[in-house]
């Protein structure tokens, strides 16, 4: 029983990464209508920027938590302005292919420069150590990850679903022309939204750097699961992606306890079942 | 991207003159060595481009020619897929005039290429794959298994850690052939030495989060946590073991750890860990001199020290070229006979290649230094024990290889 609690808590920690990443994807898909396959590569870039800052420029974890997502967000906005924008009137598939190609290029460049084994990023001093909860040893850093992810996810959901700015954003996807007629700069809004979505990926990358080895392939192993999360939650559903991310983390944790060999496939099994019974996803709206 | 690359390579191979293998001393007018390795995946730092570099260095040191004919090196990425490996090897044999395929890191690719090479009477020189089947029931007459096998790894680390007091073990095992075989071999060694295996957990290959497996290891209360995995999986296990307080309460035993892993982890995380290696650059004057030359090669962009796979490959290729020289031909049968008849004695090690194809040489049990003990770059290991060839590797008689006369 004690072991089970431990596994569930660990699942929740992983789930908060899923939530943070799938939230970014859901925002980008929901508001900009792009299937951003480059999300994993941008997450990896965020982690690498944090590592590079610490190793070469003496920039610590706390400033990196802000600077790294900013840099990734800016990079994303450049991508949106120069490339993605041209594909808006075409099928989703073109955006997917473009971002997939970008992923290969970005990962290839990092691979060429840093090799496959990657680099270690230390846990920041203030968050080292941990607490013995009785049923498991909880590293302080992991607790921090859960708190911050939940806070960021909730704040994003709140802004998009409950504020005036969010209302503009949602209106922009429903009827961009009409919104533009009201004097709102829709193209700029899309650029900023895309930038925010990928900045979330960069943010998740910095959060992950002290836990996982910072390596060029760290994103590609995660992004597939995260896409499954988005599909299960319902493409573009912000709330759905957060809840599903956390929920699937728990399901995965449970599987690791009951039958570890299936832990890498359980998410996809859930996806298949959900798609069979509810093709729009758990929280998706029928159109 | 990779597909295009392999397509281009296939086209390049097709355009090579496919002259028949003449009864000349050197077939096709050149000795061609094909380096088939993992160029971009999990094993690319411990083999990969560094392996290609080691082979080219061996050829250059040999003078670039043997029996008056040029030595050519080709290379390709097997992507850790047995089917891709055997397709490339087949093209190399049929159309590229390749005489020997070397490296084949990843047991699956090695087992796929070996029978093909034997059928075509070409040679395989393996540095990197671990499974004992290579010189066991899957052995071939045209193969040399060079740097290490799982038996040597299990035996080195398993026996010595039990002897130094680590009696109870728990395994974190990669859930595929290599991991399971390493776990089984090590369990046998641990139990034979008087230790006890309390349990194991199997994780999918290329996992990034090990926390739940580490919790299980912790709950088992074992003194030693044996990591029967490799590459990025091992690195993440070590890193997270520290985070969850598994170390220093429990000792980690790395069953397959390379110096490239230690380099990327940093000594602070890896310190005090036991591991078994076939080569350490700072062992003696000869290994140091060779490794520093390797490090200084202009193509070694990261200025990395060689791993045991790369050092072993240099030694294997040199031994192969010397055998061609001595046999006066590059035909596989006389060359193999020469390689098995001549002992190896170089910076890598001293030993002989048995009828089963296994190169028996000394292995080293080492402990990773702490940051305070490390005085200069790449000063990572303390050599605790030299395991002599007869104890480091299984005896010829114990092998299930049909080539061994009993």
Reported as a single tens digit per residue, the pLDDT across A39-64 is 999 999 999 999 999 989 999 999 99
Phi first, then psi: give them for residue B73, nearest 5 degrees: -120, 125
Q: Does A128 touch chain B (CB under 8 A)?
A: no
To the nearest 10 degrees (0 to 180), the angle between helices B107-119 and B177-192 is: 100
Alpha-carbon distance of A200 to A207, in angstroms, equals 10
- Residue of B91, B52, B48 whose CA lies nearest to B73: B52
Provide the mean pLDDT of chain B.
90
Give the CA-trace dihedral at A234, A239, A245, A251, to 10 degrees: -80
The encoded tokens of residue A259 equal 């039958």
pLDDT score recorded for residue B18 = 41
CB contact under 8 A, B243 and A123: yes
Q: Taking residues B142-167, what's their average pLDDT? A: 92
pLDDT score recorded for residue A144 = 92
- B16 pLDDT tier (thresholds 50, 70, 90): very low
Asked if the model's pLDDT at residue B2 lies above 70, the reply is no
| Nearest residue on chain A to B41, alpha-carbon basis | A116
Q: Could you tell me whether strands A130-132 and A137-139 are parallel, antiparallel, or unpaired per DSSP bridges?
A: antiparallel
Q: Does A115 touch chain B (CB under 8 A)?
A: yes
DSSP assignment of chain A, as one string? -HHHHHHHHHHHHHHHHHHHHHHHHHHIIIII----TTHHHHHHHHHHHHHHIIIII---HHHHHHHHHHHHHHHHHHHHHHTGGGGTTS-HHHHHHHHHHHHHHHHHHHHHHHTTT-B--PPPGGG-SEEE-SSSEEEHHHHHHHHHHHHHHHHHHHHHHHSHHHHHHHHHHH-HHHHHHTT--HHHHHHHHHHHHHHHHHHHHHHHTTTS-B-TTHHHHHHHHHHHHHHHH-TT-HHHHHHHHHHHHHHHHHHHHH-GGGTTTHHHHHHHHHHHH-TT-SSPPP-
| Nearest residue on chain B to A111, alpha-carbon basis | B40
CB contact under 8 A, B232 and A116: yes
Q: Does A121 touch chain B (CB under 8 A)?
A: no
Beta bridge partners of B145: B126, B358
Residue ranges covered by each domain of chain B: 2-148+286-361, 151-277+363-392
Chain A residues in contact with B260 (beta carbon < 8 A): 115, 117
Q: Does A140 touch chain B (CB under 8 A)?
A: no
Give the CA-trace dihedral at A11, A16, A20, A26, to 10 degrees: 60
The encoded tokens of residue A122 equal 């230390």
Ramachandran quadrant class, B251 (left: phi over 0; alpha: psi -120 to 50; beta: rest)? beta
CB contact under 8 A, B235 and A213: yes
DSSP B358: B
Residue ranges covered by each domain of chain A: 2-222
Alpha-carbon distance of B39 to B53, in angstroms, equals 12
> In this structure, how many other beta carbons lie within 10 angstroms of the beta carbon of residue A18?
28
CB contact under 8 A, A7 and B235: no
Alpha-carbon distance of A87 to A95, in angstroms, equals 6
Asked if the model's pLDDT at residue B19 lies above 50, the reply is no
CA distance B257 to chain A (A): 12
CB contact under 8 A, B45 and A7: no
Q: Sign of dihedral through CA atoms A117, A120, A121, A127?
A: positive
Chain B residues in contact with A261 (beta carbon < 8 A): 175, 202, 204
Pick from A115, A251, A267 the residue to mutate for testing the B interface (most B CBs within 10 Å): A115
- B125 pLDDT tier (thresholds 50, 70, 90): very high
Q: Taking residues A210-218, what's their average pLDDT? A: 89
CA distance A265 to chain B (A): 10
Which residues on chain B place their C-beta less than 8 Å from a C-beta of chain A? Answer: 1, 40-46, 48, 175, 201-204, 206-209, 211-213, 215-216, 218-219, 231-232, 235-236, 239-240, 243-245, 260-261, 263-266, 268-269, 302, 304
> In this structure, how many other beta carbons lie within 10 angstroms of the beta carbon of residue B129?
28
The residue with tokens 């192969």 is B320
The encoded tokens of residue A29 equal 């898909």
The larger pLDDT score, comparing residue B205 to residue A146, is at: A146
- Segment among A179-188, B6-15, B143-152 with least mean pLDDT: B6-15
The encoded tokens of residue B209 equal 């989060």
Q: Does A136 touch chain B (CB under 8 A)?
A: yes
pLDDT digit string (tens) for A233-286?
A: 888 788 888 999 999 999 988 888 888 878 888 999 999 999 999 888 888 776
Return the half-sphere exposure (C-beta side, CA atoms, 13 A cut-off) of residue B132: 21
Establish whether domains B2-148+286-361 and B151-277+363-392 are of one fold.
Answer: yes
- CATH class, domain B2-148+286-361, is alpha beta
Pick from B175, B200, B207, B211 the residue to mutate for testing the A interface (most A CBs within 10 Å): B211
| Nearest residue on chain A to B1, alpha-carbon basis | A104
CB contact under 8 A, A221 and B263: no
To the nearest 10 degrees (0 to 180), the angle between helices B177-192 and B150-163 is: 40
pLDDT score recorded for residue B1 = 47
Chain A residues in contact with B215 (beta carbon < 8 A): 3, 6-7, 10, 136
CB contact under 8 A, A117 and B175: no
The encoded tokens of residue A205 equal 């990358």
Provide the mean pLDDT of chain A.
89
- Residue of B213, B243, B208 whose CA lies nearest to A223: B208
DSSP assignment of B133-195, as one string? GGGTTT--TTEEE-S--HHHHHHHHHHHHHHTT--EEEEEEESSHHHHHHHHHHHHHHHHTT-
CB contact under 8 A, A115 and B45: yes
pTM for the model stands at 0.83
Return the half-sphere exposure (C-beta side, CA atoms, 13 A cut-off) of residue A62: 3
Q: Which residue of A6, A116, A122 is in closest CB contact with B45?
A: A116
Asked if the model's pLDDT at residue B288 lies above 70, the reply is yes
The 3-class secondary structure across B69-100, one letter per residue, is EEEEEEEEECCCCHHHHHHHHHHHHHCCCCCE
Asked if the model's pLDDT at residue A67 lies above 90, the reply is yes
The larger pLDDT score, comparing residue B1 to residue B274, is at: B274
CB contact under 8 A, B232 and A123: no
- Segment among A222-236, B114-128, B253-267, B329-343 with least mean pLDDT: A222-236
- Residue of B195, B145, B126, B129 whose CA lies nearest to B165: B195
CB contact under 8 A, A261 and B206: no
Share of chain B above pLDDT 90, in %: 73
Per the document, the length of chain A is 287
Q: Does A21 touch chain B (CB under 8 A)?
A: no
Look up the CATH number of domain B151-277+363-392: 3.40.50.2300
pLDDT digit string (tens) for B335-391?
A: 999 999 999 999 999 999 999 999 999 999 999 999 999 999 999 999 999 999 999
The encoded tokens of residue A184 equal 């709102």
pLDDT score recorded for residue B230 = 87
Under 8 Å between Cβ of B97 and B27:
yes
Chain B residues in contact with A263 (beta carbon < 8 A): 203-204
ipTM: 0.81
CB contact under 8 A, B209 and A3: no
Under 8 Å between Cβ of B145 and B126:
yes
> In this structure, how many other beta carbons lie within 10 angstroms of the beta carbon of residue A173?
17
| Nearest residue on chain B to A265, alpha-carbon basis | B204
């Amino acid at each position: 029983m004690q072991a089970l609690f431990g596994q569930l808590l660990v699942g929740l920690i992983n789930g908060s990464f899923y939530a943070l990443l799938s939230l970014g994807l859901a925002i980008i898909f929901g508001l900009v209508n792009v299937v951003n396959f480059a999300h994993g590569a941008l997450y990896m870039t965020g982690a690498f920027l944090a590592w590079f800052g610490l190793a070469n420029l003496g920039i610590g974890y706390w400033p990196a938590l802000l600077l790294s997502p900013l840099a990734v967000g800016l990079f994303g906005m450049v991508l949106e302005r120069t490339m993605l924008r041209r594909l808006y009137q075409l099928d989703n598939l073109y955006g997917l292919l473009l971002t997939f190609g970008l992923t290969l290029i970005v990962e290839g460049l990092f691979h060429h420069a840093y090799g496959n084994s990657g680099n270690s990023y230390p846990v920041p001093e203030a968050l080292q150590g941990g607490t013995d909860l009785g049923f498991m040893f909880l590293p302080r850093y992991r607790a921090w990850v859960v708190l911050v992810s939940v806070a960021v996810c909730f704040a994003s959901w709140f802004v998009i679903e409950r504020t005036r700015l969010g209302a503009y954003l949602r209106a922009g996807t429903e009827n961009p022309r009409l919104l533009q007629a009201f004097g709102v700069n829709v193209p700029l809004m899309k650029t900023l939204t895309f930038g925010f979505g990928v900045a979330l990926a960069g943010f998740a990358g910095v959060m992950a750097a002290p836990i996982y080895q910072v390596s060029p392939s760290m994103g590609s192993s995660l992004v597939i699961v995260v896409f499954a999360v988005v599909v299960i939650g319902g493409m573009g559903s912000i709330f759905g992606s957060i809840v599903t991310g956390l929920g699937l983390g728990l399901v995965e944790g449970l599987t690791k306890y009951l039958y570890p060999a299936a832990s890498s496939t359980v998410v996809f099994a859930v996806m298949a079942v959900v798609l069979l019974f509810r093709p729009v996803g758990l929280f998706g709206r029928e159109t | 991207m990779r597909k295009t690359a392999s397509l281009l390579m296939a086209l390049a191979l097709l355009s090579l003159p496919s002259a028949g293998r003449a009864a000349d001393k050197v077939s096709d007018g050149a000795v061609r060595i094909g380096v088939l390795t993992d160029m971009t995946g999990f094993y690319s730092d411990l083999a990969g481009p560094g392996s290609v570099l080691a082979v080219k260095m061996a050829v250059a040191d040999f003078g670039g020619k043997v029996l008056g004919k040029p030595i050519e090196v080709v290379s390709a990425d097997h992507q850790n897929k047995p089917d891709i490996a055997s397709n490339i090897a087949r093209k190399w044999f049929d159309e590229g005039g390749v005489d020997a395929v070397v490296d084949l890191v990843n047991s699956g690719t090695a087992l796929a290429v070996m029978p093909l090479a034997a059928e075509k009477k070409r040679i395989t020189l393996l540095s990197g794959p671990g499974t004992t089947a290579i010189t066991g029931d899957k052995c071939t007459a045209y193969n040399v298994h060079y740097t290490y096998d799982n038996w040597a790894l299990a035996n080195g680390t398993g026996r010595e850690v039990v002897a130094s007091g680590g009696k109870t073990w728990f395994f974190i095992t990669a859930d595929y052939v290599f991991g399971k075989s390493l776990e089984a071999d090590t369990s046998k060694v641990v139990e034979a030495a008087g230790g006890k295996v309390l349990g194991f957990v199997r994780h999918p290959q290329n996992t990034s989060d090990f926390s739940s497996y580490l919790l299980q290891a912790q709950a088992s209360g074992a003194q030693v946590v044996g990591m029967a995995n490799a590459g990025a999986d091992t690195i993440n296990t070590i890193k997270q073991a520290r985070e969850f307080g598994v170390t220093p309460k429990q000792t980690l035993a790395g069953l397959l750890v390379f110096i490239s892993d230690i380099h990327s982890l940093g000594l602070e995380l890896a310190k005090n860990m036991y591991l078994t290696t076939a080569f350490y650059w700072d062992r003696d004057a000869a290994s140091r001199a060779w490794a520093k030359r390797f490090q200084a090669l202009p193509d070694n962009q990261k200025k990395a020290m060689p791993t045991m796979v790369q050092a072993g490959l240099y030694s294997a290729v040199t031994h192969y070229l010397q055998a061609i020289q001595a046999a006066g031909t590059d035909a596989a049968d006389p060359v193999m006979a020469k390689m098995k008849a001549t002992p190896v004695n170089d910076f890598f090690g001293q030993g002989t290649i048995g009828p089963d194809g296994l190169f028996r040489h000394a292995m080293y049990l080492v402990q990773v230094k702490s940051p305070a003990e490390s005085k200069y770059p790449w000063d990572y290991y303390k050599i605790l024990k030299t395991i002599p060839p007869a104890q480091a590797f299984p005896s010829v008689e114990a092998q299930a290889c049909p080539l061994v006369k009993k």
